[in-house]
Chain A
């Protein structure tokens, strides 16, 4: 089974204390939003991913809504709203 490759950027990377991790698709998690809830439930710094926090995400390097489906092996990224330019 191919693991998810999860990446965290900017203030979210600092809040969760790591740039990324590999994780088997958790049981019952089929969408980006469900993965976000699963990770936020770890508590402490992970609450930065919680509901009501201003979080954006990408699946396989494309911006995605939280209803986007997830599959084994996907690259998933969580980050705050972008501030380039």
Chain B
């Protein structure tokens, strides 16, 4: 399965290996791992809880993977996103993309992360010594996703 939304940790090395195992047509695997940091907006972060919208999350990630497969020549894609309470240094998200050459793999991997950050229904709540708060969306993430815009999804969620 290309997409997993799970509480459990993942083994990035095993996921990367699986993307090319027994597939001699794969010449490149690009991957990204997102981690919990111990700094938020100027405050120390002691833990983070990720909430999501079961059902829509899986659909949304599958849609992003399908769009990446439409735009680039890919031999395999794997997306894993965790939810629940995580600690600094914990892994949050894995994106792995296999293709014949590095160009498609790098581009598709970055595209999937940029779209995931602005379209997949996850919300982060940080715990700090001063209490817990919901993380605000960053404009920089919208700008990163907008770089890839062509005509995909005519619906502007900000209307």
Contacts and interface: CB of A to CB of B under 8 A. Distances in A.
Interface of A: 7, 9-11, 54, 56-58, 61-68, 77, 79-85
B113 interface: yes
B42 interface: no
Contact of A63 (B55, B116, B155): B155
Contacts of A67: 159
B92 interface: yes
Given A83-B135, A84-B122, A84-B124, A9 B157 contact: no
B7 to A, nearest CB: 15
Contacts of A84: 50, 52, 81, 93, 116-117, 120-124
Contacts of A7: 53
Given A80-B137, A82-B120, A83-B124, 17 more contacts: A9-B51, A9-B123, A10-B123, A10-B125, A58-B121, A65-B156, A65-B157, A77-B121, A79-B123, A80-B134, A81-B136, A83-B123, A83-B137, A83-B138, A84-B120, A84-B123, A85-B122
A82 B93 contact: no
A77 B117 contact: no
A77 B59 contact: no
Contacts of A83: 117, 122-124, 134-138
B34 interface: yes
A10 B120 contact: no
A80 to B, nearest CB: 7
B114 to A, nearest CB: 9
B53 to A, nearest CB: 6
Contacts of A85: 34, 81, 92-93, 113, 116-117, 120, 122, 141
B118 to A, nearest CB: 7
A65 B158 CA distance: 7
Nearest to B115: A85
Contacts of A62: 56, 59, 155
Nearest to A65: B159
